[in-house]
Amino acid sequence: MEHFSNRLAVITGAGTGMGRELALALAKEGAHLALCDLASDTLEATATAARALSPGLTISTFLCDVSDEGQMQAFQRHVADAHGTEAIHLLFNNAGIGGGGTITDPASRPAWDKTFSVCWNGVLHGVRCFMPMLLAAEDAHIINTASINGFWASIGPHTPHTAYSAAKFAVKGFTEALITDLRLNAPHVKCSVVMPGHIGTQIVANSMKVLQQDPAGLDEEAIAAARTQMVEAGLPVANLPDDDIRGLLRARAAEFESSAPTSAAAAADIILQGVRENRWRILVGEDAHAIDRLVRANPEGAYEPALVEEMYALGHFKGLVRSVESS
């Protein structure tokens, strides 16, 4: 698909980050938009900004949780009604949250299951619910957002990262399998898997809200668990009072956004260029290209601390993964 003018694009998780920037970039190019998110304030802010950029477009919003199939079916009906059409051209399954680090602790199961479900079921429901509208278009493109964690299941040797990584591997595998499925059964529908490195967004703060782990609301037990995790990761916080641990959690979320090498707007441009060029595999950021090369060069070494040190030596991962030496 070489241009987006007059196309209809569906974007999940359009309230902030890459989803919002995709919406704005597509509006600038004249695409009509159907946007969903969990959070109404940020979702409406995206829609207002997109309308201001291109006043003649049809831009609709819908509140829904992508991990709930019934809500995604309702979103699909909304898109058909609000846009008066049976067809969509672009489907960005972008919504995602981080969390659910370890599977060894039964107490972390709600966060584990929610993270896995948003990141995996969100994509599956998106593709299933919107398939009839994709099939009805003259040409269409599905864009599923995975992560570098879709081919490297780690954020470094100190931190368990199982739910998110497992879901992102699933998104990558599903999208790769779709290539042949669509070629055989719906050749006018293309697909891409997006694998961003570290992008400057509010994903850490947003995920804490979704998982009800906002630092201000955490009780003593939850703070103790966070402290233990930080100590195990080598941070000298064993004797810090609870409020300081809350402050550290907030600072970590802010630092994730401010220290990223690639902005959400730059990421959106890279994603849309990949769609224009009909590439099924879209890496976003120099860090994503670098870790892709290292993992391919030495798959057995992918989870050894030396790999992270190599990324550090190349100038990557500074704000994302704690180095081995710093612990």
Ligand X SMILES: NC(=O)c1ccc[n+]([C@@H]2O[C@H](COP(=O)([O-])OP(=O)(O)OC[C@H]3O[C@@H](n4cnc5c(N)ncnc54)[C@H](O)[C@@H]3O)[C@@H](O)[C@H]2O)c1
List contacts with ligand X (CB under 6 A): 12-13, 15-19, 36-39, 42, 65-67, 94-97, 118, 122, 145, 147, 196, 198-199, 201-203, 206, 210, 264
For ligand X, give the closer residue by CB, 54 or 147: 147
Asked whether the beta carbons of 23 and 53 are under 8 A apart, the reply is no
For ligand X, give the closer residue by CB, 49 or 135: 49
To ligand X, the closest distance from the beta carbon of 101 in angstroms equals 15
For ligand X, give the closer residue by CB, 227 or 316: 316
Strands 199-200 and 262-263: parallel
For ligand X, give the closer residue by CB, 122 or 157: 122
Query: Among candidates 93, 319, 92, which has minimal Cα distance to 199?
Result: 319
Integer Cα distance of 327 and 323 in angstroms? 7
To ligand X, the closest distance from the beta carbon of 218 in angstroms equals 19
To ligand X, the closest distance from the beta carbon of 138 in angstroms equals 28
To ligand X, the closest distance from the beta carbon of 265 in angstroms equals 11
To ligand X, the closest distance from the beta carbon of 240 in angstroms equals 27
For ligand X, give the closer residue by CB, 67 or 76: 67
Secondary structure E strands in the chain: 8-12, 32-37, 59-63, 90-93, 140-145, 189-196, 199-200, 262-263, 281-284
Q: Which residues pair with 193 in a beta bridge?
A: 144, 281
To ligand X, the closest distance from the beta carbon of 93 in angstroms equals 8
To ligand X, the closest distance from the beta carbon of 280 in angstroms equals 17
Integer Cα distance of 51 and 141 in angstroms? 23
For ligand X, give the closer residue by CB, 42 or 61: 42
Integer Cα distance of 245 and 213 in angstroms? 13
For ligand X, give the closer residue by CB, 4 or 164: 164
Asked whether the beta carbons of 66 and 42 are under 8 A apart, the reply is no
Token pair belonging to 160 = 């368990």
Q: Would the CA dihedral through 257, 261, 265, 269 be positive or negative?
A: negative
Asked whether the beta carbons of 170 and 93 are under 8 A apart, the reply is no
